Structure 1
Amino acid sequence: MSNAFRELLKKVGSGTHTGKDLSREEAEIATRMMLLGEATPAQIGAFLIAHRIKRPTSEELAGMLDAYDRIGPKLVGNGEWGVGSGEWKRDKLAAEIPSSSSPSKETKPVTVLGTPYDGRDRTAPVTTLTALILAAAGVSVLMHGGDRIPTKYGIPLMEIWQELGVDLSKLSLAKVQELLEKTGLGFIYLPQHFPEAQELVTYRDQIGKRPPIATMELIWSPYAGEIHQVAGYVHPPTEVRFRDVFKMRGVTNFTLVKGLEGSCDLPCDRTAIIAISNPNTGEGFERLLLHPSDYGFAGKEVPFESTSQLITQMEEILAGKSSNLLQAAIWNGGFYLWRCGVCEDLQTGLDKAENLFTDGYAEKKLTEIKSAID
């Protein structure tokens, strides 16, 4: 048992009247001790459920992210060299870097798509299609996640990629770095690239609730260069916490979406509530209320009924055919093409997204990614 961890546990688990929030440094220490197994399983489970009940503060989320930065994998860019993976094992992973590696000359920000690790089970996701057309338009995209995990056990991003013929689960970090530079797509896969975080997955099932780590993961960026951080959320207070965390950590380019099932997918059946970074405002952001009906994209959400049906719908879109999922794919693709600076306004983005699908550019990008990992 760790006495040091016990003191942090007592602080967050003492109840409404005597419990206290952790400082950023304490939250980093607690997260580090859980990731490295320095706390016992009983301590970890107690901490996660107590922290869930208390609700994490922005300062605590920032500290948790600090620990992930130190211990977790991190691709590089903007002149940084090689593939890092946290201070404590950086030397070990340096051996994985090919001798031919050179500093990235990427100057555009990498768009990091944060989406719930426990997947989707009610609405058909289009995040993968968004990533494909962004990459096809010259925007590098980094995703992260694992397999089907508690508490929802919904379909995860990795499974969708695999069903589309792209198995990203066995790539080394060096190969992921290479793939990102060559094709504009990268994927950090927890079981392969961050086993310390993967070890914490079992607690999600045992406590029966998403722990605060599940909130933090939405805004984790396993990239050392300039980023455009994209994340979804469900509850409005979460957006406020995210913006506060960004201020603490110096993230100035972000898009936060009250998306479908907490993802970064914009809804079609209601107004999309979005916060985008804007340094010209006093608060550093501006609020967007996008009505799908104003652009001809209003409609019912396409339900997720089975993996096979979802993949068929995606393959139809990539083949330039009509699909009941096409409207959602264009609506989301067009928005993110605009937000990533490819198009000067939303309508131009929507038109370009449709062309990227119907003219086969998204399918060509998928083929390119397949060839790059074979």
Structure 2
Amino acid sequence: MSHAFRELLRKIGSGPHTGQNLTRLEAHAATRMMLLQEATPAQIGAFMIAHRIRRPTGEELAGMLDAYEELGPMLQAIAASYPTLVFGMPYDGRTRTMPIVLLTALILAAAGCPVVLHGGDRMPTKEGEPLSLFWYGLGIDWTMPLSQVQATFEQTGIGFVYLPTHFPLAQGLVPYREQIGKRPPFATMELIWCPYGGNAHVVSGFVHPPTETMFQNALALRRVRQFTTVKGLEGSCDLPRERTAIIGLGTVNVAGEVALERLCLPPREFGFEGANVPLDTPETAIAAMQSVLAGQPSELMKSALWNGGFYLWRCGISASIQAGIMQAERLFTTGQAKQKLQELQQATTAIAVIR
């Protein structure tokens, strides 16, 4: 048994009256001991559920991210005209709505803005369809070694950090999520994890407003210069179409002070009001994505234009959201987004042959 970990567990697990928040250093130490399995299974499970009940602070999330940076994978900086967008999506996947972020990544990369995503396989508690599954359906297998992900990222502007292969220490904690039956604070922290060593723009989905505040505090402590928070589809970064998109546009100065601008985007003002595209099966979703990449009109195309237009504007490529929507449409109808997917397929196929 880890006596050092027991003291940290006692601190957060003592109830509403005597319990205390961890400092950033303590959260780093606790996360490190869990990742390295220096704490016992009983201690890890107890910590996760106690932390879940009490809710993490921004300072604790920053400490957890410190441990991920120390022990986890990191894609190295590449030369680019724009900061790399790092999308934080819930690892436990999608069950109700189509993931748009793959199409968003392809048009951003086609326009010159690099993109990094991260995630794993099907994961509790939601057990939804993971992003890696949709990428695989489009012909991209991210189970390659990290050095080869780096080469693909440098060549195409798109990278994906895949937990089972690239961060087995974090993958080792996944069974605890199923056993405790609840999302632990790790699931919150993952939304703002940035496995990229260069100039990054962190984009994070959220559901509950208090989570956004935690993100702001953690990112300020971590000196992340630019970030975006999105109350998106199923907690993702995908903008909804059936309601106003609630977005936070954040910057952090050298003193660690946060400036957050609230942006509310009604899709009807841009001609995209309607139902979110439902997720039927992965196979039908992948076929629908391929149809969009072929430039064919559909409800998914509308969702892709809505998201693409916003992110092309947010990353600084387009002068306005409307201009971004028009540029996204050109990238789809002229085949540039599809060509980016083909580049990605060719790069990863060449790597598979080398292996």
- TM-score normalised to the size of structure 1? 0.91
Name the residue aligned to 1:93: none
Q: Quote the Cα distance in structure 1 between the aligned partners of 2:90 and 2:252.
A: 28
What is the percent sequence identity of the aligned residues? 59
Name the residue aligned to 1:61: 61
Name the residue aligned to 2:353: none
Name the residue aligned to 2:17: 17
For residue 283 of structure 1, report the CA deviation from its aligned partner. Answer: 4.7
Name the residue aligned to 1:227: 200
Counterpart of 2:91 (choices 117, 124, 131) is: 117
Give the conservation status (yes or no) of the 8 Å contact 1:313–1:324. Answer: no
Q: Quote the Cα distance in structure 1 between the aligned partners of 2:15 and 2:185.
A: 17
Q: Quote the Cα distance in structure 2 between the aligned partners of 1:111 and 1:13.
A: 36
Give the conservation status (yes or no) of the 8 Å contact 2:96–2:279. Answer: yes
Name the residue aligned to 2:216: 243
Counterpart of 1:328 (choices 299, 303, 317) is: 303
For residue 7 of structure 1, report the CA deviation from its aligned partner. Answer: 0.6
1:126 aligns with 2:100: yes
For residue 48 of structure 1, report the CA deviation from its aligned partner. Answer: 0.2
Give the conservation status (yes or no) of the 8 Å contact 2:206–2:230. Answer: yes
Structure 1, unpaired ranges of 5+: 78-103
Post-superposition Cα deviations, 1:239-280, rounded to whole Å, max 9, x if no partner, equal: 111111111110121110001110000010000000012569
Q: Quote the Cα distance in structure 2 between the aligned partners of 1:44 and 1:348.
A: 49
Name the SS for the 2:98 alignment partner.
Answer: coil
Give the conservation status (yes or no) of the 8 Å contact 2:250–2:258. Answer: no
Post-superposition Cα deviations, 1:61-91, rounded to whole Å, max 9, x if no partner, equal: 00000000000001111xxxxxxxxxxxxxx
Q: Quote the Cα distance in structure 2 between the aligned partners of 1:247 and 1:72.
A: 21
1:302 aligns with 2:277: yes
Name the residue aligned to 1:255: 228
Structure 2, unpaired ranges of 5+: 350-355
Counterpart residue identity of residue 207, structure 1: I
Q: Quote the Cα distance in structure 2 between the aligned partners of 1:5 and 1:283.
A: 32
Counterpart residue identity of residue 308, structure 1: E
Pairs aligned (count)? 346
Give the conservation status (yes or no) of the 8 Å contact 1:259–1:272. Answer: yes
1:22-171, aligned counterparts within 5 Å?
22-77=22-77, 104-106=78-80, 108-169=82-143, 171=144
Name the residue aligned to 1:2: 2
Name the SS for the 2:86 alignment partner.
Answer: strand
Q: Quote the Cα distance in structure 2 between the aligned partners of 1:325 and 1:372.
A: 27
For residue 368 of structure 1, report the CA deviation from its aligned partner. Answer: 0.4
Post-superposition Cα deviations, 1:338-357, rounded to whole Å, max 9, x if no partner, equal: 11111011100001111111
Name the SS for the 1:325 alignment partner.
Answer: helix
Counterpart residue identity of residue 277, structure 2: V
1:182 aligns with 2:158: no
Counterpart residue identity of residue 202, structure 1: P
In the superposition, relative to structure 1, how do residues 167 and 283 fare at CA in structure 2: closer, same or farther (>3 Å)?
closer
Counterpart residue identity of residue 250, structure 2: S
Counterpart residue identity of residue 68, structure 2: Y
Q: Quote the Cα distance in structure 2 between the aligned partners of 1:292 and 1:107.
A: 29
1:271-290, aligned counterparts within 5 Å?
271-278=244-251, 283-290=258-265
Q: Quote the Cα distance in structure 1 between the aligned partners of 2:302 and 2:107.
A: 14
In the superposition, relative to structure 1, how do residues 345 and 142 fare at CA in structure 2: closer, same or farther (>3 Å)?
same
Name the residue aligned to 1:84: none
Name the SS for the 1:218 alignment partner.
Answer: helix
Q: Quote the Cα distance in structure 1 between the aligned partners of 2:81 and 2:33.
A: 35
Name the residue aligned to 1:318: 293
For residue 107 of structure 1, report the CA deviation from its aligned partner. Answer: 5.4
In the superposition, relative to structure 1, how do residues 204 and 369 fare at CA in structure 2: closer, same or farther (>3 Å)?
same
Name the SS for the 1:215 alignment partner.
Answer: helix
Give the conservation status (yes or no) of the 8 Å contact 1:110–1:141. Answer: yes
Q: Quote the Cα distance in structure 2 between the aligned partners of 1:362 and 1:107.
A: 18
Q: Quote the Cα distance in structure 1 between the aligned partners of 2:6 and 2:300.
A: 49
Q: Quote the Cα distance in structure 1 between the aligned partners of 2:157 and 2:60.
A: 32
Name the residue aligned to 1:365: 340
Counterpart residue identity of residue 101, structure 2: T
Give the conservation status (yes or no) of the 8 Å contact 2:81–2:113. Answer: no
Counterpart residue identity of residue 146, structure 1: G
Q: Quote the Cα distance in structure 2 between the aligned partners of 1:202 and 1:362.
A: 37
In the superposition, relative to structure 1, how do residues 153 and 279 fare at CA in structure 2: closer, same or farther (>3 Å)?
closer
1:355 aligns with 2:342: no
Q: Quote the Cα distance in structure 2 between the aligned partners of 1:320 and 1:358.
A: 4
Post-superposition Cα deviations, 1:32-73, rounded to whole Å, max 9, x if no partner, equal: 000001001110000000000000001100000000000000
Q: Quote the Cα distance in structure 2 between the aligned partners of 1:339 and 1:267.
A: 16
